[in-house]
Amino acid sequence: MESEVIAHVVRRWVEDLVVGLNLCPFAGRELVRNRVRFVVTEAATEEQLLAALATELALLNDDAAIETTLLIHPDVLQDFFDYNQFLDTADRLLVQTELEGVYQIASFHPDYQFAGTAADDAENFTNRSPFPLLHILREAGLALSIAAYPDVEQIPVRNIAQMKSLGREKLQLLIRGCSVGNKN
């Protein structure tokens, strides 16, 4: 699948699920302001992905107009448990580059599974995406959004309840519907 098609699918996932289902009440504003960068890396190894992540962090440092980046990596870390292990490597990069506290990395994967849940539990869909990706967020912008939002601690509680209400089959259809040419 071509990079621009993959980016389109992920953008549609953000629009339809993340914003459409209000999973992240802060995402819509940044999407409308065109401050979300969607980038597909051709990385085929963890080392190449780490280099792509370093490049994106440098770009964010140089361009304040970008609030957040979705680094989509369709060709590496397809296995969720390998992906989950890589998150420690990504966090170490933040420390090594002295960017811990400036950025944080949120995780999304087609097979995302929270600790203590079964693989097919609907609540895992709060972090399931069409492709594996690393979501790089500016901590300062996130802190401002959180400070202005009432009951921020209720967001994950509400999201889990909504995922359970929709059910696994409906959620799978919604994610599949983000593919080019499909309409929900």
Whether the CA torsion 24, 57, 61, 5 is positive or negative: it is negative
Number of domains in the chain: 1
Asked, for residue 162, whether it belongs to a domain, the answer is yes
C-alpha 38/C-alpha 50 separation (Å) is 17
Asked, for residue 184, whether it belongs to a domain, the answer is no
Asked, for residue 135, whether it belongs to a domain, the answer is yes
C-alpha 168/C-alpha 60 separation (Å) is 35
- Per-residue pLDDT reduced to its tens digit, 64-120: 999 999 999 999 999 999 999 999 999 999 999 999 999 999 999 999 999 999 999
Asked, for residue 182, whether it belongs to a domain, the answer is no
Residue 135, SS3?
strand
Residue 167 has pLDDT above 80, yes or no: yes
Q: Confidence class of residue 182 from pLDDT cuts 50, 70 and 90?
A: very low
Helix (H) or strand (E) holding 71: strand 68-72
Helix (H) or strand (E) holding 26: none
pTM of the predicted structure, to 2 decimals: 0.94
Asked, for residue 15, whether it belongs to a domain, the answer is yes
Partnered with residue 39 across adjacent β-strands are 71
Q: Which domain holds residue 94?
A: 3-176
Asked, for residue 181, whether it belongs to a domain, the answer is no
